[in-house]
Amino acid sequence: MARAIICVLAVLILAACSLEPEAPTAGDGEVGRVLTVIDGDTIDVDLNGETVRVRYVGVNTPERDEVCYSDATRANRALVERQTVRLVADVSDTDRFGRLLRYVYVGDTFVNQQLVAEGWGEAVRYDPDVRYYDQFVQLENEAERAGRGCHPTGIFDDGSTTR
């Protein structure tokens, strides 16, 4: 009997310690309005009257001179253009170019995640900002198997998961 209780407690503890990261709560992050969509993973946001450039954490989309750039940019625009966004930091505040590094939400839509799930972006590990990396890798694999977004072009087939 005692052994059964210990086993049940162990299962409950493991369930409580799920590896799935917790989603931010409504009070997390800063709120701003998207002014410009730069490309598939970068936006300019009005944040408290100041224009700031925001780079999405954990996702990389094709660059201006690459195949599927326009499609990925269009997908990002459809999600965020002129929208109020919530910007949530992971570990780092800015990158070497001075851009804010953030997870971006429009309402309940997790934009970084959506771009990867739809195949417009690839999961990329930007240490130390890795809160959703494993989840993004799973979504990228599913998008690739389903031939969604940019995957049929082969743009993400460089074998690299870091930038």
48-107, pLDDT tens digit by residue?
999 999 999 999 999 999 999 999 999 999 999 999 999 999 999 999 999 999 999 999
Whether 99 is a known active-site residue: answer: yes
| 22 torsion bin: left (phi>0), alpha (psi -120 to 50), beta (else) | beta
Residue at token pair 């407690």: 9
The answer to whether residue 3 is domain-embedded is no
Determine how many CB atoms are found less than 10 A away from the CB of residue 114. 21
CA distances from 38 to 20, 46, 72, 107 (A): 31, 14, 11, 21
Whether 125 is a known active-site residue: answer: no
Indicate yes or no: pTM above 0.75.
yes
Domain region containing 109? 25-153
Q: Which of 22, 30, 33, 55 is catalytic?
A: 55
Q: Which of 33, 63, 66, 142 is catalytic?
A: 63
The answer to whether residue 162 is domain-embedded is no
Whether 55 is a known active-site residue: answer: yes
The answer to whether residue 107 is domain-embedded is yes
The answer to whether residue 5 is domain-embedded is no
The answer to whether residue 30 is domain-embedded is yes
The answer to whether residue 158 is domain-embedded is no
Which CATH number is 97's domain given? 2.40.50.90
**Number of domain units in the chain:** 1
